[in-house]
Amino acid sequence: DAGVIQSPRHEVTEMGQEVTLRCKPISGHDYLFWYRQTMMRGLELLIYFNNNVPIDDSGMPEDRFSAKMPNASFSTLKIQPSEPRDSAVYFCASSLGPGLAVEQFFGPGTRLTVL
């Protein structure tokens, strides 16, 4: 298996522009997570899906952020409009089944820079 795939790996954009980050989970995994990593706040969970349905979006910072999962093999995280404070590494992760012990498999991340 190719693992969790994220694109792009790097994104540089200007303030005010729309940014779309993409994720393909591991085939068969039914949970998908979006995380943001910054020096100041560490690794934070933004939102997660179960069987394509958003379960908890309490970590989404504000209305400028939205996430969708139209099918089991694809998810997007959109920021519109983007701001310099959104600069971070965004990770997508997926897991198989529910459970506290279940390992989450992470993608390589997208480094976003908003100028």
Partner 1 sequence: AQTVTQSQPEMSVQEAETVTLSCTYDTSESNYYLFWYKQPPSRQMILVIRQEAYKQQNATENRFSVNFQKAAKSFSLKISDSQLGDTAMYFCAVSGGSNYKLTFGKGTLLTVNP
Question: Considering the rule CB under 8 A, would residue 98 count as an interface residue with partner 1?
Answer: yes
Question: Considering the rule CB under 8 A, would residue 31 count as an interface residue with partner 1?
Answer: yes
User: Cα–Cα distance between 49 and 45 in angstroms, integer?
Assistant: 12
Question: Considering the rule CB under 8 A, would residue 70 count as an interface residue with partner 1?
Answer: no
Whose tokens are 């989970």? That residue is 25
Only one of the segments 21-29, 36-44, 65-73, 80-88 lies at the binding site for partner 1 (rule: CB under 8 A); that segment is 36-44
**Burial (CB count <10 Å: 0-12, 13-18, 19+), residue 104:** middle
Binding site residues, partner 1, CB under 8 A = 31, 33, 42-45, 48, 55-56, 89, 91, 93, 98-104, 106, 108-109, 111
